[in-house]
Structure 1
Amino acid sequence: MSLRQFEYALAVAEQGSVTAAADVLRVAQPSVSQQIRGLERELGVELFSRTPAGLVPTVAGRAFLVEAEIAVKAARRARATARAGASELAGELLVAVQMGLGTRQLPGALGALRRSFPRLEVTVFEEPNPTELERLARGGVLDLALMAGPCEEGLYAGHHLGDEEFVVVLPAGHPQLAADRVELRELERETWVRFGHGSALDGVLLDVLEDNTMAPATTARVSQTATAVRWVVHGLGVTLVPASAVPPGHEHLVRPVSPVVSQPVVAAVRPGAGPAELALLDFLRQETWHKFPQSWEEPPSTVSSVPVV
């Protein structure tokens, strides 16, 4: 078996046909078919079934593709490390972010990374479910992840970047906008725009409501922080989001809360990380991670980055 065969199989699974996979890979269709047939002969199983909708992975195929993706990602990281010189990084970096964290800081760090290493390709995706984030980490797929809380010992090395304070988003004209900091109990009668079941953000809100003996009356559930803010703007309730996740132009509708709600922001990096991961970690440390002071209008304070032991 070869990495090329793995890449061809992954492309066929993603595209649903040999023809489309060949177009994406920029190779001849017979080459893809030949590689897939050779792989199936060597494995002794069928990887794909033909259906009216196209080629669909079999049960054995799905199991194989999970491991194939891990192998391909590892090979790309190895190539990136081998090509890394004193002033050049090339290859692919896969970053996952717990939804709502680093919304303003990560683009700044990635911009600096891009300017310093223009040949480095970075793929970023937000993951609302911490269980899924952990599954990806255990599978060896991720190079770096931004998450709240410590990393599992031995899986990734955690670096504490700072603390992310949560703020309440209120509709225009809400009486609590007159306060510098909103007492959570003052929101007891409000309905809430919440996030998906099992998501980290909904877990934070549930803990906050329970700690303050408040019953969560739910208007709706959404999957993105920006959507939650927009729904509040349209008068559908209130919501609680990380401060950095507030879209520009809506800062006047948010207030920090009392008691303070905050989470640590941790950059999880694989042990023995390569130069690409370490470069991004360095740029993330240069970003401002803060809690809001008593007055919203005052400049935010800076929290020093310290490693998580």
Structure 2
Amino acid sequence: MSLRQFEYALAVAEEGSVTAAAERLRVAQPSVSQQIRGLERELGVVLFTRTPTGLVPTAVGRAFLREAQAAVSAARRARATARAGAEELVGEVAVAVQMGFGTRQLPDALRTLRRRYPRLEVTVFEEPSSAELERLCRRGALGLALMAACERSPADAHHLGEEELVVVLAPGHPQLAADRVELRALRGEPWVRFDRDSALDGVLLNALGDSDPATAARVSQTATAVRWAAHGLGAALVTASAVPPGHEHLTRPVSPALSQPVIAVLRPDTGPAETALLQLLRQQTWSEPAEPAEPAEPVSPLSLTPVPVS
């Protein structure tokens, strides 16, 4: 068996056909078919079943593909490590950011990383859902995640600092006259909220002391929440660093002060790119815990733990 056969089998499983897999791999279709047949002969099993919608992995095939994915991922990281030793780090780094964490710190860290390794490609996306973060991590799709600490944070998580939370209000809102806004004073007003299983929505419920505040809309991006709040749809509670330029005058710190610890979770078998990015993030300026801070009960089912790629 070879890594090439593993890669061909994974491509067929993802695309659902030999033709599509060959196009993606930029090889001839007979070559893919031959490699899959050879792999099945060597293993003595059938990896794929033909259905009206395309090729589907068998039960044995699914088990094999999980191990094949781990082998291919390990090989790619090994190549990246070797190239990093020669200061030629290439490949892709996938970073997930929860609740807009690191909006101010990530650009500087990524700029330095790209200057050092210009052939490195970085994908960053905001994911408010803790359940989705865990799913992506278990799939091995994430190299690094910035998320809120919780009672089940991994023991080896890296604490980077704090993110202050602010409330965003519409122009002319009477509470903008205050230096700080007490969230309970906004009870009964509509809110632009995040997904139900997001850590930030849990913080809002806890701070309001209301299990069912008026919901104007639910969004998945902090920048969207800020802009919609600025247009009068409802108030929004977001991280201060995620407020887009030009909207700062519509934000106020809350009272009692609220902040969320920011931790970085790396895949256990992570490569040198993720490690380098973590070190650069450590060098950034992060806020200290807000004072006075009101101890908050765990309100989000965050359970992301470092797990082997599977």
TM-score normalised by the chain length of structure 2: 0.81
1:262 to 259, 264, 275: 259
Task: Provide the rounded CA distance (Å) in 1 between the counterparts of 2:121 and 2:213.
Answer: 42
- Which segment drifts farther, 127-136 or 242-251? 127-136
Q: Which amino acid aligns with 1:47?
A: F
Residue of structure 2 in register with 1:223 after alignment: 220
Q: How many angstroms does 1:291 deviate by?
A: 5.8
Contact 1:12–1:55 (CA<8 Å) still a contact in 2? yes
Deviations 1:164-206 (A, max 9, x none): 0111111121111122211112211211111122223322222
Deviations 1:85-104 (A, max 9, x none): 26332333333322421223
Q: Which amino acid aligns with 1:164?
A: E
Deviations 1:215-266 (A, max 9, x none): 4111221222222223223322111111122222222221111111211111
Task: Provide the rounded CA distance (Å) in 2 between the counterparts of 1:129 and 1:262.
Answer: 19
2:235 to 238, 258, 279: 238
Task: Provide the rounded CA distance (Å) in 2 between the counterparts of 1:161 and 1:43.
Answer: 50
- After the TM superposition, which residues 14-29 of structure 1 pair with which residues of structure 2 at under 5 Å, given as runs? 14-29=14-29
Contact 1:48–1:61 (CA<8 Å) still a contact in 2? no
Q: 1:24 to 1:203 in 2, by over 3 A?
A: same
Q: Which amino acid aligns with 1:77?
A: R
> What's the C-alpha RMSD, in Å, of the aligned pairs?
2.7
Task: Provide the rounded CA distance (Å) in 1 between the counterparts of 2:169 and 2:44.
Answer: 58
- After the TM superposition, which residues 1-309 of structure 1 pair with which residues of structure 2 at under 5 Å, given as runs? 1-41=1-41, 42=43, 44-52=45-53, 54-58=54-58, 60-85=60-85, 87-138=87-138, 140-149=140-149, 151-153=153-155, 157-210=156-209, 213=210, 215-271=212-268, 274-290=271-287
TM-score normalised by the chain length of structure 1: 0.81
Residue of structure 1 in register with 2:296 after alignment: none
Task: Provide the rounded CA distance (Å) in 1 between the counterparts of 2:200 and 2:118.
Answer: 33
Contact 2:228–2:234 (CA<8 Å) still a contact in 1? yes
The percent of aligned pairs where both chains have the same amino acid is 71
Q: 1:203 to 1:3 in 2, by over 3 A?
A: farther
Q: How many angstroms does 1:82 deviate by?
A: 1.7
Contact 2:45–2:60 (CA<8 Å) still a contact in 1? no
Task: Provide the rounded CA distance (Å) in 2 between the counterparts of 1:248 and 1:15.
Answer: 41
Contact 1:195–1:221 (CA<8 Å) still a contact in 2? yes
Q: How many angstroms does 1:81 deviate by?
A: 0.9
Contact 1:76–1:92 (CA<8 Å) still a contact in 2? no
What SS is found at the alignment partner of 2:157?
Answer: strand
Unpaired runs of at least 5, structure 2: 292-310
Q: 1:57 to 1:166 in 2, by over 3 A?
A: farther
Task: Provide the rounded CA distance (Å) in 2 between the counterparts of 1:180 and 1:48.
Answer: 65
Q: Which amino acid aligns with 1:205?
A: L
Residue of structure 2 in register with 1:303 after alignment: none
Q: Which amino acid aligns with 2:198?
A: S
Task: Provide the rounded CA distance (Å) in 1 between the counterparts of 2:246 and 2:31.
Answer: 52
Contact 1:167–1:254 (CA<8 Å) still a contact in 2? yes
Q: How many angstroms does 1:69 deviate by?
A: 2.9
Q: Which amino acid aligns with 2:117?
A: F
What SS is found at the alignment partner of 1:84?
Answer: helix
Q: Which amino acid aligns with 2:161?
A: G
Task: Provide the rounded CA distance (Å) in 1 between the counterparts of 2:99 and 2:137.
Answer: 16
Residue of structure 2 in register with 1:302 after alignment: none
Task: Provide the rounded CA distance (Å) in 2 between the counterparts of 1:126 and 1:9.
Answer: 31
Q: 1:60 to 1:272 in 2, by over 3 A?
A: closer
Contact 1:165–1:242 (CA<8 Å) still a contact in 2? yes
Kindly tell me the number of residue pairs found equivalent between the two proteins.
288
Unpaired runs of at least 5, structure 1: 295-309
